[in-house]
Amino acid sequence: MTKSFTFRLSAAFAAIVGVVLAFIPLLAVHGVESALALGVLLPPWVAATAASYTERHRGTRGIDLILRTIGAGLLIWAIPVTLLALSSLRIRQCAPGEGLAFVVLGPAVGCALAACTGVWVAGSTSRPRLSPWIAAAVPLGTALLGLWAFYATPTVHVFGAFAGYFPGAIYDDLVQIPTRYLTYRATMVVAILSLAVLFDALWDPSAGTLDLRGRAGSHVGAIAVCVGTLGIVATSYWHGDHLGHWVSDEYLIDRLGKTEQGRYCVAHMPRETQPDDAQRLVEDCDFHVERTRKLVGLSSTEHVTAYFFRNQNEKKGLIGVGRTLIAKPWRGEVYLQVAGWPHPVLGHEVVHAVLGEAGRGPFSVAATFGGLIPNPGIIEGAAVALAWDLREDLDPDQWSRIMMDRKELPTASTVMSVQFSALPARRAYMAAGSIVRFLIATRGMDTLLEAYRSGAIEGLDELEAQWHAYLREVPVTPHERGVAEVELARPSIFSAVCPHELAKLQAHLSGDTAAGDDARMIETCRAILEIDESEPRAHAALVGALARTDNDEEALVELDALRATMNAPKPIVAAALEQYADARWTRGNLEEAARLYGELLALPRTDGPARQSEVKKLALGASPAERDVVYEMLLGRSSSPVVVHLAQTLASMRNDGLGQYLEARQLMAQNRFTLALPLLQDAKRLRLPTPRLDHELSRLLGITFFGLGRYRESAEAWRQRAGVSRAADAEAWRWLERIEYAETRMVSPALPGPSSALRAAP
C-alpha cells in the first residue's frame, strides 16, 4: 500500500497540511479548529487512495481491502497529527487530552469512513480512472451537505460525517466536546463497521466485483444485520433534531414554547415569558426593524424572525453557539438569549437581518466573487454603525480615537476585508463601525448600500485619510482612555493562548464566585493566570479571595504588583482594589476599606462599578445600622427579595433617596415598572447623595416612564440625562426615537454624531 503513487501523493499532501497548520497559532496544536481543518482536507485524499488501491487489487478479499485502506487512511491522518504534536512543544497546549479527542473523533473517524467509501466506490464502478475522483467527491459532497444544514436550518454548529465538528461562530470560545457529538460519531463508527462487513459479504475476489445475487444466500445473516444497522444510522439522521445533531424550525419553536407576532417581527421566546414582557420584546424588535429600514431606505415587508433563548446554555445546546449572538440574514432570523429590557444587542442583530435585502450571494451579505466570499468588515461595520453600538460607555468613534492614539488602530484595508476576523474583536468591531459611520456621513447611505452589494468600498485610501482627520477631533477624556485599556489589551482568538481552556476556567470561576468558595477561587484564578497573566477578572478575584482567607500578605503582593506594573490597565487595578477593599470591610477594617473606596473613585472605570464604590463609601461613613444594611445588600450575596427588604429598611434610616433608588433598581430588573416608579420619584424628590447616582436616576426614570406608556415624561427624563457624555447623548437619542415610534408607529431616525443636536420631543 505504501508503495502506491496515490498513497505517497496523499501522504505528501497531509505533511504539507500539517506544516501549514503549525504556523497558525490557533491551528498549531490538537484542538477543535485543527480537527475541523484536517476533517475537511484529508478524507477526499484518503477516499481517492482507497479507490485507487481497490482498482489495482480486485483479487483481494473484501475485508482485507477494507482493513488495509483504513490502515492507510489512518496513516495519512497520523502524519499531520504527529506534526501538530511536535508543534505543541513550542506552542502551548493547555488541554492535550481534549484536543486529541477532537482529532480522533473528527478526522480519524472521517478518514476511516473515507477509506470505506473509496473501496465501495471502486467496487461499484467499472471505470477505474473515474473511481478515485468519484470517491474524493463523496466527502466533498457531504461537506456541502453540512453547509446546507447551516444554510437551511437555524443550526449554527454542523456535524459532518467526514469533517467532524464545526462548532459555529469563531468568537464563541467556550467549546467542549458535547454529548450529542459523541452520539453522532458513534453512529459513524457503526456505519463504518456495517459497511466493512457488508462489503466483505458481497465482494467476490475471484471476479473482482460485488456479487449480490451469488453471495446473498450464503451471507444472508450478515447482510440483514448490516442493512438493519445502516437503517438505524439513517433513522438517527432523520431524527437528528431530537438527538441534537441538528435542529429544525419546528423543534426549536416547540422547545421555546411561545410565539408573538408584531408588525415586522415574529418573536419566539420561552413559554414562561409574561404577557407584558413578551409585548415589550416584540415591539422593541418592530422598532429596530422599522428604524433600520428607514435609515437605509429599504422597503421590504418581510418579517424578521427573532429567537430568544432562556440562557446561553440552552442556546448552545440547541443551535451550537452560547455567548455569541448571531443572525442569518438569508433566513431573516436572529438568535439571542433573553436579557434585560430593552435587549442590549437586538438592534445590532436586526441590522444584519434587514440588510439581507441589500446583500448578495447565497448568504445575502456584503460579499465579493459573486457573493461567495463574505466581507466581514463591511457586514459587521454596517451593523455597528447603524445600531451605533455603545461599549463600556464609549461609542465607536471614541474607541477608534483611543486606538489611533495608542497606535493600535487597524488600517482600513485590514478592517474592510476578510482580515477583519483575525483582529481582536473589540478593535475590529469598533473600528469597522466608526469607518462605516464616517462613510455614511461623508458619502451618503447610497454609497454604503453600493458597498454592501459589491462587497468592497471604492476609494478606501482616501476615505481612511479623511476618517483619521475626523478622529483627531473626537473628544476623549483621560477617564475614557483608562476605561478602554482592558478591552484593547485582549488578543485575537487566532493569536490567543488556549482560548477554549481559558473560557472553560472562566466559567468555573463564575461558579466558584457564586458559591463563595474562596479556596477553589484561588486555584481557578491561578490556573487562569498561568495561561494569561493579564486576565483582569482573575487578578481581581484572586486579590479578594486571598484577602478573605487570611492571606493578606499574598493579596497585597498581588495588588502591589498590579499597581507597579506600568502596562497594567487601570481598570484591572481598580477591580482588584475593589475586591481587596470589600475583603477589608468583611474583616472589619472599616477605615482602611473607606480609604480604598475613595482611592477607587479616582481610577477610570465604567459607570456601574463606580456607582457601587460610591454607595459603599457612603455606607462606611454612615451609622453602624446603615452600614450593616448596605453590606448585606452589596456584599452579602442576598437574593433580590431580601435586597428589596433591606432597601426599604435603608430608606427608613436615611433622609435622602438612596434606599428608594436601590429598591427601584431591583424592581426594574423584574420589569415591575408600576412598583418602581413611585420609589424613583421619591428618590428624585429627596435627592441622591452624588451626581453620578443622580444621572443614573434620570436614565431609570426614562426607562420606567416608557415602560408605563408615559412617553412625554420619558422624553423629558432622557433630555435631562443627555449631556453627561457622548454615550449618554447617543442613548438618549435612541430612546427619543423609540418614544416617537411608540406614539406614532412611525420613526424618523438619524445617526448621532458629535455635531448632532438632541431631538425635540416627538
| Cα 464 to Cα 543: distance, rounded to the nearest angstrom | 43
Helix (H, G, I), strand (E, B) or coil at 603: coil
* pLDDT band with cut points at 50, 70 and 90 for residue 624: very high
| Residues 198 and 225 placed together within one structural domain of the fold | yes
Residue 706 belongs to a domain? no
Mean pLDDT of 637-641: 86
Is the pLDDT assigned to residue 155 strictly greater than 90?
no
- Residue 661 maps to a domain: no
Cα R_g (the chain), whole angstroms: 30
Do 226 and 261 lie in a common domain?
no
What's the pLDDT band for 172 if we cut at 50, 70, 90? Answer: low
Confidence of residue 173 (pLDDT cuts 50, 70, 90): low
Report the pLDDT value the prediction gives residue 236, as an integer from 0 to 100. 84
Q: Are 222 and 199 in contact (CB under 8 A)?
A: no
- CA nearest neighbour of 111 among 79, 133, 88: 79
Q: How confident is the model at residue 755 (pLDDT cuts 50, 70, 90)?
A: very low
pLDDT for position 356 = 93
Say yes or no to pLDDT of 492 above 80: no
- Judge contact between 361 and 432, C-beta under 8 A: no
Q: What are phi and psi of 365, to 5 degrees?
A: -135, 175
Whether 303 has a pLDDT exceeding 60, the answer reads: yes
Instruction: Provide mean pLDDT across the span 697-719.
Output: 95
Does pLDDT of 754 surpass 50? no
When pLDDT is averaged across residues 100-120 and rounded to a whole number, the result is 94
Look at 510 and 467; give whichever has higher pLDDT.
467
- CATH classification at residue 585: 1.25.40.10
Average pLDDT for residues 647-659, to the nearest whole number? 95
In this structure, the answer to whether residues 366 and 510 fall within a common structural domain is: no
* pLDDT reported for residue 491: 65
Provide the 10 A C-beta neighbour count for residue 323. 15
In a domain, 649, yes or no: no
Residue 559 counted as domain residue: yes
Look at residues 761, 752, 719 and name the one whose alpha carbon lies nearest to residue 291.
752
| pLDDT tens digit sequence for 230-259 | 888 888 888 777 787 888 899 999 999 999
How does pLDDT run across 713-737, given as a tens digit for each residue? 999 999 988 888 888 899 999 999 9
* Residue that finishes a domain, picked among 421, 455, 488: 488
| Domain range for 515 | 497-605
- Average pLDDT of span 272-291: 95
* Residues 145 and 255 grouped into a single domain: no
pLDDT at position 45 is: 96
Q: Is 329 among the domain residues?
A: yes
Same domain, 96 and 158: yes
> How much is the pTM?
0.86
- Single out the residue in 247, 278, 299 at which a domain terminates: 247
What cell numbers appear for 261 in the block?
Answer: 407576532
Among 191, 218, 247, which residue terminates a domain?
247
378 & 290 share domain: yes
Q: What is the mean pLDDT of residues 603-623?
A: 91
86 and 230 assigned to the same domain: yes
What digits encode the pLDDT tens for the residues 408-438? 999 999 999 999 988 888 999 999 999 999 9
What does the DSSP assignment read for 425-448? HHHHHHHHHHHHHHHHHHH-HHHH
Burial-class residue 220 by CB neighbours within 10 Å (0-12, 13-18, 19+). Answer: exposed
What is the C-alpha separation between 483 and 393, in angstroms, rounded? 9
Higher-confidence residue: 536 or 9? 9
Query: What pLDDT digit, counting tens, does each position of 345-381 carry?
Result: 999 999 999 999 999 889 999 999 888 899 999 999 9
573 compared with 631, residue with greater pLDDT: 631
Band of the pLDDT at 269, cuts 50, 70, 90? Answer: very high
Q: Is residue 754 within 8 Å of residue 295, measured between CB atoms?
A: no
| Mean pLDDT in residue range 104-109 | 94
CA 249 to CA 597: how far, in whole Å?
A: 51
Say yes or no: 201 and 304 in one domain: no
Average pLDDT, integer, range 82-111: 88
**What is d(CA 281, CA 338) in angstroms, rounded to the nearest whole number?**
10
pLDDT at residue number 169: 65
Backbone torsions φ then ψ of 259, nearest 5 degrees: -130, 135
| CA-closest candidate to residue 323, choices 310, 336, 334 | 336
Angle between helices 726-744 and 691-707 (to 10 degrees): 20
- Domain assignment of residue 731, yes or no: no
Comparing CA positions, the residue from 574, 553, 550, 545 lying closest to residue 562 is 574
Give how many domains the chain has, as a whole number. Answer: 3
Question: Same domain, yes or no, for 261 and 243?
Answer: no
Cα separations in angstroms, 477 against 442, 483, 487, 726, 732: 26, 10, 17, 11, 20
Residues 546 and 585 reside in one and the same domain: yes
pLDDT in tens, 24-81: 877 888 888 899 999 999 999 999 999 999 998 888 898 999 999 999 999 999 999 9
Helices within 246-345 (DSSP H only): 249-256, 275-296, 312-319
Residue 176 domain-assigned? yes
Q: With respect to residue 745, please indicate whether it lies within any of the assigned structural domains.
A: no
Together in a domain, 407 and 523? no
Return the CATH number at 430: 3.40.30.160
If you write DSSP's letter for every residue of 101-169 in order, what string do you get?
Answer: HHHIIIIIHHHHHHHHHHHHHHHH-S-TTTHHHHHHHHHHHHHHHHHHHHHHSS--SEEETTTEEE-S-
Q: With 0-12 CB in 10 A as exposed, 13-18 as middle and 19+ as buried, what is 354?
A: buried
Residues 347 and 448 in one domain: yes
Read off the pLDDT of each residue in 560-564 and give the average, rounded to a whole number: 74
